[in-house]
Structure 1
Amino acid sequence: MCAGDDHNCPDFEQHRQKFLENLGADRRTFLKSALLTAGGAAGFGASSLVGPALAQVSAAHQPAQRAFHYLPATDETVHWGYFSKTLKPKIEINSGDLVTIEALTHHAADDMERMVKGDPGAESVYLWTKDRKGVNRRGAGPEDASLFGRGAGEGLGVHICTGPVYVRGAEPGDVLEVRILDVVPRPCANPAFAGKAFGSNAAAWWGFHYKDLITEPKTREVITIYEIDATGERNWAQAVYNFRWTPQTDPFGVVHPTIDYPGVPVDHSTVVENHDVLKGIRVPVRPHFGVIGLAPKEADMVDSIPPSYTGGNIDNWRIGKGATMYYPVAVDGALLSVGDPHASQGDSELCGTAIECSLTGTFQIILHKKADLPGTALEGLEHPMLETQNEWLVHGFSYANYLEELGGDAQSAIYDKSSVDLALRDAFRKMRHFLMTTQGLTEDEAISLITVSADFGITQVVDGNWGVHAIIRKDIFAGRA
């Protein structure tokens, strides 16, 4: 009998939906049990930035019964390439609720057979015929493509973001705690590749490497398709093949000489697939979300590429299962969106992308009210912060809030003004502030400790607003009262 896996079954869609519902029920039971075992809101981390007092106060604002929500990725639930405080929420949740969110990669059109075919949600998002697109606007640019003629939104912002999620009671000045409880790959729905998932890595024109190529042709974009085991039995990815981008004509008749507009379906009859690549290489899989962010207040339509004070495209591979992110709330409801899922990425994301692979994440969302923050580690938080079981991380950017700092043309100026030096300076200042305010250190003590104990890394140099993160281990403070 078909269990939602036989595409030839006349009742395939009905059986697949039942399978997903049953899977959802099993996952809900597992997560609720895990949450109770962990002690609920106060027990996620023994050394959490949210101490017992704040956890108790924040829990008092939550309903007695936590709800579980599921937000699939479809043409009705995603926004492509931008954040906006004007977006209508797709779901509303209470503080403390759990929500599973499907996130689609914006590079799935690099291999539609492996990453779109047979998947109703992905097919609805990637639908593009000569008559219409499933999701028309792709980017924060003009709807009429009057700047470059590339398409609605002009590709000024590229990520498929699921949401937004409206958090009841969230107001500017509050802090949103986002716990990542689970991350799983989205299995390929094409029966030819059962049990597998796939991702794409594009060494593209916006990559840090692009003007430093040494072999001919020296202006080339190369896409490598990777395979991941969707069953979870294998924790590494392997390359399947690569190809050089050739000018692609989209279904509306627009020619794309480079990768300049998201979701353009690649016609594989125009490219040469090289299947003899990275033989014997096993890339460790560390699934994470390149984009988790709240809506900023500064503009109605904000490019999804540069990260900023409300999060967004941070591209830190540590933002995966077991991690917690903290974000300052800028607009009512917070308006949380999730996208840019990655199977794996190294610090810097040097060539422009990671292994861009669709994932599904389960999150617990906790709201901390501004009035409850004085005297806590979250008081005055003005930037996204990451916490793992063993570490605290601050994220520095070339411009901490580029939308405010660079004025009316910020969304274009940021691409010309970023530098690692500026991002490093911002990360240092944030870590210094963190140590002085949360650990009670003097400035001199903080500077010495940063120098001898903190690790600075280049998060990414490809997202317009470049990023440097600073990491401090929690066990350094184990001897303090």
Structure 2
Amino acid sequence: MCAGDDPTCHAFEEHRRRFRRDLEPERRAFLKSSFAATGAAAAFAAGGPSLVSPALAQASGAKIAATAHYHLPANAETVHWGFFSRSLKPKVEIGSGDFVTIETLTHQASDDAERMIQGDPGAESVYLWTKDKMGVSPRGAGALDAKIGPGGGQGVHICTGPVAMRGAEPGDVLEVRILDVAPRPCANPKYKGLAFGSNAAAWWGYHYNDLITGDKPREVVTIYEVDATGERDWARAVYSFRWPGFTDPFGVSHPTIDYPGLPVDHSKTQKTYEVLKGIRVPIRPHFGTMGVAPAEADRVNTIPPSYTGGNIDNWRIGKGATLYFPVAVPGALFSVGDPHASQGDSELCGTAIECSLTGTFQFILHKKADLPGTPLEALDFPMIETREDWVLSGFSYPNYLRDLGPDAQTAIFQKSSIDLAMRDAFRKMRQFLMHAKGLTEDEAISLMSVAVDFGITQVVDGNWGVHAVVKKAIFSDRVA
């Protein structure tokens, strides 16, 4: 359906006017609540303490002459599947302060095409796969002639973008504010008002070689239902099925879930209904994969996260959160995907509730020359800020592309550990407390033990993660 983004639609102008009209109240409300504009300058630190100091806000805001709002749909022309790349052509170029509404598709939608693809032109174009054609190819950062399919499945996430930030250069910091997140409604009229997601307990999950009942090992997919209207803040399981193995349209057999977008033939599955009966799963929509292009390689697998973000898989990256990314290549080249309806810390079995979402973002560029003396000076990892917390992301290897040499994209899957990720999170929090908050090393270590929460972000993405969360309120009586 055209949402003001399809010039070939016979009612394109009317749909475009409607999109802009519907957007204005939300945009005005956000501007009123979160910005105090003074000429070209804006105060970015609404809602309490921020990593953006008043001086940095003034400097960055002075470079904003006006703002625009763009809409980036998800279809076969606007997504890349399974990789980040410094060579990708931008789908839209924006200026600092601009807003972009970005549609994202889950890479697990083909687990139930009836509920997550059918009737949705964007999803249908991406998931198209016949014996003669793939809607989007390659799927992954691997070889184009890989045996299991172009790209080799070395990277599974459908990413929309990239979005190029005009004037962004290595050494700058890109601030990305998540203003809104909403489920992508099912386009099949049989399921009006609903959205759906898939959870795959798969071979890459932490549990896989530690099963205690039934056939071992096994992969099980559970389909969840979400209220797309927003009236119900929980999801329920609809049914589950054992992965029986499939032969794809190119004739390649897949005994396990080893390639993204495999068409699931439900005539060959045995569905189990009334799974998780009576259980409500609280939803917390967020984006598992979000980041800018790294500089170290031309095509980088989306699965392991790194210093430029990517597949962080932290449920805190949802509405109201702000992320700060170190810019590594000209234009930054921001992409987003891997949308989740909900996920627990660790993403234990391999996936979250993988559910297509649409997000509205604002992008602000902080130039390298304005960073000295601010908390963002020398930022070399993706940092999360919410209204109440600062969240630092530790990884087994902070920059595995640099640290592990020419075979890094293979080696990372054999070298990750929670111990390494914990040590990285500790070191980053120590540096943050000493540099941004002026604590001594001894003060920082004491505070970390009594007031900072360390948690396992994920153990399924190759480069395992531990996050450190510190409450802003801790510093409420401290003189800046």
Residues 122-150 of structure 1, C-alpha deviations (whole Å, 9 max, x = no match): 000001111100001000000111xxx10
- The letter for the 2-side match of 1:133 is M
Distance apart, 1:34 and its partner CA: 1.8
- The letter for the 2-side match of 1:105 is T
**2:343 aligned partner:** 345
CA distance in 1, matches of 2:456, 2:348: 10
- The letter for the 2-side match of 1:31 is R
Residues 78-103 of structure 1, C-alpha deviations (whole Å, 9 max, x = no match): 00000000000000000000000000
CA distance in 2, matches of 1:292, 1:272: 35
Conserved? CA contact 1:80–1:135, under 8 Å: yes
**2:6 aligned partner:** none
- The letter for the 2-side match of 1:29 is P
- The letter for the 1-side match of 2:218 is R
Determine whether 1:52 maps to 2:50.
Answer: no
**2:190 aligned partner:** 192
CA distance in 2, matches of 1:217, 1:47: 52
Determine whether 1:406 maps to 2:404.
Answer: yes
- The letter for the 2-side match of 1:253 is G
**2:77 aligned partner:** 76
CA distance in 1, matches of 2:213, 2:27: 50
**2:35 aligned partner:** 39
**1:89 aligned partner:** 90
**1:61 aligned partner:** 63
The SS at the match of 2:316 is coil
Distance apart, 1:24 and its partner CA: 4.6
Conserved? CA contact 1:142–1:154, under 8 Å: yes
CA distance in 1, matches of 2:168, 2:46: 21
The SS at the match of 1:180 is strand
Distance apart, 1:35 and its partner CA: 1.5
**1:171 aligned partner:** 169
Determine whether 1:255 maps to 2:253.
Answer: yes
**2:332 aligned partner:** 334
CA distance in 2, matches of 1:319, 1:14: 37
Distance apart, 1:51 and its partner CA: 1.3
The SS at the match of 2:51 is coil
CA distance in 2, matches of 1:71, 1:446: 43
Distance apart, 1:191 and its partner CA: 0.3
The SS at the match of 2:391 is strand
- The letter for the 2-side match of 1:198 is F
Conserved? CA contact 1:28–1:68, under 8 Å: no
Give 5+ residue unaligned stretches, structure 2. Answer: 4-8, 37-41
CA distance in 1, matches of 2:398, 2:292: 15
**1:450 aligned partner:** 448
CA distance in 2, matches of 1:221, 1:192: 28
**2:462 aligned partner:** 464
Distance apart, 1:39 and its partner CA: 1.9
- The letter for the 2-side match of 1:39 is F
Residues 434-465 of structure 1, C-alpha deviations (whole Å, 9 max, x = no match): 00000111111100111111000000000000
- The letter for the 1-side match of 2:388 is N
1:120-131 mapped onto 2 (5 Å cutoff): 120-131=121-132
**1:322 aligned partner:** 320
Residues 323-346 of structure 1, C-alpha deviations (whole Å, 9 max, x = no match): 000010000000000000000000
Aligned residues: 469
1:26-425 mapped onto 2 (5 Å cutoff): 26-40=22-36, 41-42=42-43, 43-62=45-64, 64-145=65-146, 149-425=147-423
Pair 1:477–1:190, CA change in 2 (3 A)? same
Distance apart, 1:276 and its partner CA: 1.9
The SS at the match of 2:80 is strand
CA distance in 1, matches of 2:135, 2:194: 25
CA distance in 2, matches of 1:54, 1:266: 51
The SS at the match of 2:470 is strand
The SS at the match of 2:119 is coil
Distance apart, 1:37 and its partner CA: 2.9
CA distance in 1, matches of 2:46, 2:270: 49
CA distance in 1, matches of 2:225, 2:463: 30
The SS at the match of 1:210 is coil
CA distance in 1, matches of 2:471, 2:241: 41
In angstroms, what is the RMSD of aligned CA positions?
Answer: 1.6
The SS at the match of 2:272 is coil
- The letter for the 2-side match of 1:134 is G
Pair 1:399–1:21, CA change in 2 (3 A)? farther
CA distance in 2, matches of 1:17, 1:295: 34
Pair 1:272–1:17, CA change in 2 (3 A)? farther
Residues 292-342 of structure 1, C-alpha deviations (whole Å, 9 max, x = no match): 110000000100000000000000000000000001000000000000000
**1:440 aligned partner:** 438
Conserved? CA contact 1:287–1:341, under 8 Å: yes
CA distance in 2, matches of 1:271, 1:20: 42
Distance apart, 1:4 and its partner CA: 8.6
CA distance in 1, matches of 2:353, 2:365: 32
TM-score normalized by structure 2? 0.95
Identify which of 19, 22, 25 aligns with 2:21.
25
The SS at the match of 2:114 is helix
- The letter for the 1-side match of 2:35 is G
- The letter for the 2-side match of 1:58 is S
177-186 or 35-44, larger mean C-alpha shift? 35-44
CA distance in 1, matches of 2:224, 2:174: 34
- The letter for the 2-side match of 1:50 is V
CA distance in 2, matches of 1:399, 1:47: 30
Distance apart, 1:175 and its partner CA: 0.4
CA distance in 2, matches of 1:295, 1:233: 36
Distance apart, 1:45 and its partner CA: 3.2
- The letter for the 2-side match of 1:132 is K
CA distance in 2, matches of 1:33, 1:279: 40
CA distance in 1, matches of 2:28, 2:248: 45
CA distance in 2, matches of 1:447, 1:374: 25
CA distance in 1, matches of 2:420, 2:122: 40
- The letter for the 2-side match of 1:87 is L
**1:9 aligned partner:** none
The SS at the match of 2:273 is coil
Give 5+ residue unaligned stretches, structure 1. Answer: 6-12
**1:8 aligned partner:** none
The SS at the match of 2:271 is coil
The SS at the match of 1:211 is coil
Percent sequence identity over aligned pairs: 69
Conserved? CA contact 1:4–1:17, under 8 Å: no
